[in-house]
Structure 1
């Protein structure tokens, strides 16, 4: 039982860290949706935030996978854990796409529309990260 509680606490901590990073990414990119120029320092910080988020999401996916594979098929929390795992996978794909766009921008091979697209993606990722955290917290309760 202690092991399960420990796993859930780790999942919760990781989800909270991911949400905080995604909220930071959303904040950094808010003005880009209105086609305001992105400052190089902000673009670099968003790149760094995305790398950190991707690393944490990988850890979260691994922890969720272990929890799902070790749990009982009749576990009442299984559907929530599976949903959290699916959200995590979507966020991983989103972060990978963001890093590709950010890399183009940092290399000077971008269009203004890239910044607008990043702003939209950051807003969506922040919402998904919040849903992910809420889903994992629902397992705790």
Structure 2
């Protein structure tokens, strides 16, 4: 399952399900040298840029599970892999989510023939709380005949 795990990690890096994490500022919080967010304001940072950092992920706009399978993405990208947050606010369900995704990929691969119908907008994304392909990812599934 090492390669499946690498695919799941890369899938979540390449197309993270959540891009923004809103926080209410509890005390004045410096954003830059010239601006401090006042207490009570809403700060909405994005994780997207950290997951696309070319200093950490070579060819960051390419889906490449090898970076987690035989590469050094786990070590180099440890601070940048913010798919599930970090510190005291990390997602408690991160292991469950990754294992569940691996399970669904494995089960669907065994039981279904997948066919993606790419369009010119397949690689463009739209944002609405999470990201989606512009063409809504047209797929068809047929049960495998054994």
Alignment TM class, shorter chain as reference: 0.3 to 0.5
TM-score by length of structure 2 reads: 0.32
Is the helix fraction higher in 1 or 2?
1
Structure-1-length-normalised TM-score = 0.33
**Higher-strand-fraction structure:** 2
- Rg larger in 1 or in 2? 2
Higher relative contact order (CA 8 A, sep 6+): 1
